[in-house]
Structure 1
Amino acid sequence: MIAALLAEPDPTTTPTVGVDCRMDTVCKQIYDITGNAWFAESSFWILVKPLRIILILLIALLIRWAAHRMISRLVRTSAHASVPAILRPLRERIPSAPAATADPSAVVPERRRQRAEAIGSVLRNTVTAVVFAIAVLLILSELNFNLAPLIASAGIAGVALGFGAQSLVKDVLSGIFMLLEDQYGVGDTVDLGEATGIVEAVGLRITTVRDARGVLWYIRNGEIIRVGNKSQGWALVIVDMPIGYAGVEEATSVMRAAAAEVAEDPDLAAHFVEPPDVLGVEQVTVDGAVIRTIAKTTADGQFDVGRELRRRLSEALDASGITARIAATRMFPRPAAPNGEGDTRGGAT
């Protein structure tokens, strides 16, 4: 036994390949064909491994290209009336919603295109990150890296990041659902609670709103609890006009004629969804009756119609003499007479 250990190795003995090569089908076939362990090992590390890494990268690029092409096609088709359900506003996906029965051409294509591009950008970035993350893991596996500790470390880091960045995750998720549900978009007039104004920019984390005073508000999407959008669908203009103790029928007739003139104005006719209507006495105050007038308008034209409707109603009441009768019924205090002389009680003016 000692002699066998001290004996020199037989030069005719054929060396065997390593474990990695034996476990690989291509390397084992090369060894079986050539019978040369060195050539099989060299081919395995110089030829087979690089080719597999290149193949993984090519497949990843192909999958990414196909996914981006599909998303881009989805974005392009969103400008038409027939859109996938995922890109439809939430109110259009609910059968009982009023907008579900509305004319599809009433939806503004530019608004839908902007929203679709934002969603498409998010989807493309997500696909790129997922595909290349998987490709990197496969390449590391080809280089014989032990992925178990790496994946475990990534999981622990993800949990720690999730606890430390809860507000960030909340903002991003809220931004994604806001885009999918089309709660608001750039150019909309919204009421977000603390800030009311026109939306200037919409991001996954921050929404930018400029109010009537010109102040620019940066609002985190996760902090938006409620949204009042004044630019979607139609709007209802409500005008309450006091008539004092004048005749209700007379004031109503005058106001209906003035409202009809506003509806027939060529500059404003396109903004009316329904003709304006004078409903009647809305309330009675110490100064007399208050008559309500309503007008159903487009979202874009509600402010112009409201201002013009108030102006025409005021002028009509003034021209009919009702405004003068309102002033005559009011009581104003008189200035005190000098040295306490005269009557200091209030009187009609």
Structure 2
Amino acid sequence: MFTTPDVTKSCNSDAFCSWLYQQTESRWLANSGYLIIVKPIRILAIILIALLIRWALHRAISRLTASTSRAAMPALLKPLREKVTETAEEGQFIPERRRQRAEAIGSVLRSFVSAVVFTMAALLVMGEFGFNLGPLLASAGIVGVALGFGAQSLVKDLIAGLFMLLEDQYGVGDTVDLGEATGVVESVGLRITTVRDGRGVLWYIRNGEIVRVGNKSQGWAMVVVDIPIGFVNSEEAIAVLKRAADTVAQHPEHQTEFIEAPDVVGVETLTVDGATIRTIAKTTADSQLTVQRELRRALAESLETSGLSERIAASRLAPRSAVPPSWYPGAGGTPPADDPRPGGSAV
């Protein structure tokens, strides 16, 4: 793999070495000058050019990722499939996510560029030292094929991680449902994603094993609150709940958390225990739980202060006789004259 370079042959093809030989007429001095001056200069030039190329590529990547903070986003850094439709209200929450994703992609691209440039520079330097690169490249190709077959899961994880970043499926701080693990994303890599669940357990998940992602922090969230009202007047209950929901939305502490005004959509279900009124609100993803708790509290208090809660309780506690009437056939009585059942006088 390592061969002693033919200095005399190399010297004849080098302008500086040929000039030095013509001036001194000393083959030894010319060869020595080639080894002491020309070779180090070539190696130094290779290193400097590699550093310059790396700097230029890093600068281009940094400028590309930095432009994501502006309204016009480069097409390269847009998700391959848009997950969220940006309305006027929602657009203000997207740039930060774009910036984080662009920084992650930029870091990966910079690492890849550095590895490629320095690998090529190292091969050129080894060539200057007399290494025969043919067998080395052939051996690297064989090792690459062997690793490709033996590390298919690793390649799968890396490719899945790259597409996950490009498509902006989730990021650090998002609350996600990955099937086995549900929690807050703590770190995102090309191979591994770490998620901490509600009990504090830290899950390490290979990107190639993630087949579905439920992101609860992307874009906006919907708050749904169902309030049972028994058998009281539904229109009256809707009016009371509507005033309470509007009060919460207009409160200075929660005003910025609402994307759209809350809406009492009406009767959602009707059972033997009465009706259920549904209230919905479109909020920012980070404020979903806070708004949900505040709406529940405000809606419950509104029913209490309006007096509807007592009427709801009374409608639910209406007495029902558990003892059959005396005329029930099984009790041995006689049915009334207007009994519509078979056997009754009205039939």
Equivalent in the alignment of 1:190? 176
Equivalent in the alignment of 1:107? 94
Matched, 1:328 2:335: no
Quick one: distance in 1 between partners of 2:166 and 2:214?
17
Distance change >3 Å, CA 132–CA 331, structure 1 → 2? farther
Distance change >3 Å, CA 292–CA 105, structure 1 → 2? closer
- From 49, 55, 59, the counterpart of 2:45: 55
Between 129-138 and 207-216, report the one with greater CA deviation: 207-216
Between 223-232 and 72-81, report the one with greater CA deviation: 72-81
Number of matched residues? 315
For 1:247, the aligned partner's letter is N
The offset of 1:33, in angstroms, is 6.2
Quick one: distance in 2 between partners of 1:136 and 1:286?
79
Q: Contact conserved, 1:191 with 1:227, CA < 8 A, in 2? A: yes
Quick one: distance in 2 between partners of 1:312 and 1:190?
29
Map 1:225-244 to 2 at 5 A. 225-244=211-230
Quick one: distance in 1 between partners of 2:134 and 2:87?
51
- From 95, 106, 115, the counterpart of 1:129: 115
Quick one: distance in 1 between partners of 2:80 and 2:321?
55
The offset of 1:288, in angstroms, is 2.6
Matched, 1:283 2:269: yes
Quick one: distance in 1 between partners of 2:183 and 2:293?
18
Q: Percent identity?
A: 61
Equivalent in the alignment of 1:69? 59
Distance change >3 Å, CA 104–CA 280, structure 1 → 2? closer
Q: Contact conserved, 1:81 with 1:104, CA < 8 A, in 2? A: no
For 2:121, the aligned partner's letter is A
The offset of 1:55, in angstroms, is 0.8
Equivalent in the alignment of 1:343? none
Distance change >3 Å, CA 221–CA 322, structure 1 → 2? farther
Equivalent in the alignment of 2:291? 305
Matched, 1:146 2:132: yes
Tell me, which stretches of 5 or more residues in structure 2 are unaligned? 1-5, 324-347
Residue 136 of structure 2 aligns to a residue in which SS?
helix
Residue 300 of structure 1 aligns to a residue in which SS?
helix
Matched, 1:38 2:28: yes
Distance change >3 Å, CA 86–CA 330, structure 1 → 2? farther
1:7-44 C-alpha deviation (Å, 9 max, x unpaired): xxxxxxxxx98444445555455556655433333333
Between 26-35 and 270-279, report the one with greater CA deviation: 26-35
For 2:120, the aligned partner's letter is I
Quick one: distance in 1 between partners of 2:81 and 2:224?
24
The offset of 1:153, in angstroms, is 0.5
The offset of 1:240, in angstroms, is 1.9
Q: TM-score scaled to structure 1, two decimals?
A: 0.79
Distance change >3 Å, CA 17–CA 127, structure 1 → 2? closer
RMSD: 2.9
Distance change >3 Å, CA 173–CA 333, structure 1 → 2? farther
Quick one: distance in 2 between partners of 1:219 and 1:105?
31
Equivalent in the alignment of 2:327? none
- From 254, 260, 271, the counterpart of 2:240: 254
Quick one: distance in 2 between partners of 1:41 and 1:67?
37
The offset of 1:69, in angstroms, is 2.5
For 2:73, the aligned partner's letter is V
- From 62, 66, 69, the counterpart of 1:79: 69
Residue 222 of structure 2 aligns to a residue in which SS?
strand
Quick one: distance in 2 between partners of 1:65 and 1:332?
87
Equivalent in the alignment of 1:212? 198
The offset of 1:89, in angstroms, is 4.4
- From 248, 268, 273, the counterpart of 2:254: 268
Q: Contact conserved, 1:175 with 1:221, CA < 8 A, in 2? A: yes
1:136-167 C-alpha deviation (Å, 9 max, x unpaired): 11112222322111001101111112222222
Distance change >3 Å, CA 108–CA 19, structure 1 → 2? closer
Q: Contact conserved, 2:18 with 2:30, CA < 8 A, in 1? A: yes
Distance change >3 Å, CA 141–CA 23, structure 1 → 2? same
Which structure would you say has the larger RCO, counting Cα contacts within 8 Å and 6 or more residues apart?
Answer: 2
The offset of 1:102, in angstroms, is 6.1
